[in-house]
Amino acid sequence: MSLIYTTPDPGDWYSWRKKDANKDLSAEEAKRKFLKEQLEFQDQMAYHNANISMYQWNKPGSHAGGDNYNSIATVVLSSPFELIGGSGAGFSVFIAATASFIDPVNVSNPAGGGDPSLQVATNFAGGGVTVNGELEGRSSPFTIDFNGLSDDGREMYFENTYIIGQSNQNINIMANTLLSGSVDFGNATAGSATGMTGGDTGLVNLTYSGSHGTPASKTGVDVSASYLVNGGGTDFVNLIVATEQSSSVIYNAGDVFSLNTATQGLGGTGTLTWTVGPEDITGDTISIPASEISLGTAVITNDIGEGVPNLTYAAQGTPLVYLAASSSLYSD
């Protein structure tokens, strides 16, 4: 069975953002449109996979192997794909997925031990803290836990709420990375300057002056940026991060960078500041790898007939990127 793509794959966030139809959208408009296109594409793939599974099940002789003909048609990530977090402890990140079976199943746990779980993979693009060459507290794949069954018994729900530790460390999903060459701060958020040479270009060091404007809770470091001064010598047309971010540095929406224009050969007077926005931050790309539902001490049986369903599944759909939340959702 072939798939006719009526809804194209939007691809990765940064490539999508550079398209003519999207590059002039505001940050909030872009995020809403990107997530809508991702979800529509996922729904299309889920529908296609479900039809393939039903076709395979209905083929002559497809039940010849016994009672475990029932199987997983699709596994779909169903979280909102927006990272809700902050620089302090106690913030949470929600992730959820749904495993859909061809026929209804029953889930029980008479032993009362570990519940079923599902594997999710991440590419670690959202950052983290490196200790001895490894990202502390992060692993891939990681698991999310069983959280109930649909009324018709065809869908198993999985979800986890991860509580962020100090400075956003030790979490399986993050959106805390500034990528060189893709973050353009452009005009300053605050401050004023005069006397710079209009049209001047070069490279400057931006001072990381605090997390969400609070110096006591710093988690980032200074970065270099290539610049283009505006014609009046009062601000910058472009200010593009040029330094590769250390894997041990964490940034959040609301962090602040500053520049004294009287330094570094700029020849100006006054200090400018830039506030990091959610559009400046890269998050993890998460996906469902080929695997199987882990039972723990639980038992999953077919609701129709006898036996147990096949709990293995292929890699599912297009990976989804987590986006940083607005700084209004953070507090220290």
Judge if 55 and 126 occupy the same domain: yes
- Report how far residue 242's alpha carbon sits from residue 182's, in angstroms, rounded to the nearest whole number: 9
Residue 2 forms part of a structural domain = no
How many Cα atoms occupy the beta-carbon half-sphere of 270 within 13 Å?
A: 13
**318 in Cβ contact with 15 (< 8 Å):** no
Which range among 66-75, 146-155, 308-317 shows the weakest confidence by mean pLDDT?
66-75
Residue 241 forms part of a structural domain = yes
**247 in Cβ contact with 324 (< 8 Å):** no
**What pLDDT was estimated at residue 94?**
72
For strands 323-324 and 82-83, give the pairing: parallel
Owner of token pair 């297009």: 318
Judge if 70 and 151 occupy the same domain: yes
Judge if 150 and 227 occupy the same domain: no
C-alpha torsion angle, residues 129, 132, 133, 135 (rounded to 10): -30
**159 in Cβ contact with 90 (< 8 Å):** no
Range of the domain at 247: 190-279
pLDDT band at 246 (very low <50, low <70, confident <90, very high): low
Q: What is the pLDDT of residues 34-82, one digit of tens each?
A: 777 877 777 666 666 655 555 554 544 444 444 457 899 889 887 655 5
**What pLDDT was estimated at residue 269?**
93
Judge if 63 and 142 occupy the same domain: yes
Judge if 164 and 301 occupy the same domain: yes
Residue 184 forms part of a structural domain = no
Per the structure, the count of domains in the chain is 2
Judge if 129 and 240 occupy the same domain: no
Residue 8 forms part of a structural domain = no
Domain final residue, candidates 245, 261, 279: 279
Q: With a cut of 90, say whether residue 223 has pLDDT above it.
A: no
DSSP, collapsed to helix, strand or coil, labels residue 34 as helix
Residue 31 forms part of a structural domain = yes
Within 10 A of 164 (CB to CB), how many other CB atoms are there? 22
Judge if 295 and 160 occupy the same domain: yes
**How far from 273 is each of 39, 84, 187, 254, 296, CA to CA, in Å?**
36, 25, 9, 12, 52
**Complete edge-to-edge strand list for the sheet that includes strand 155-163:** 72-77, 92-101, 155-163, 142-149, 117-122, 285-288, 316-321
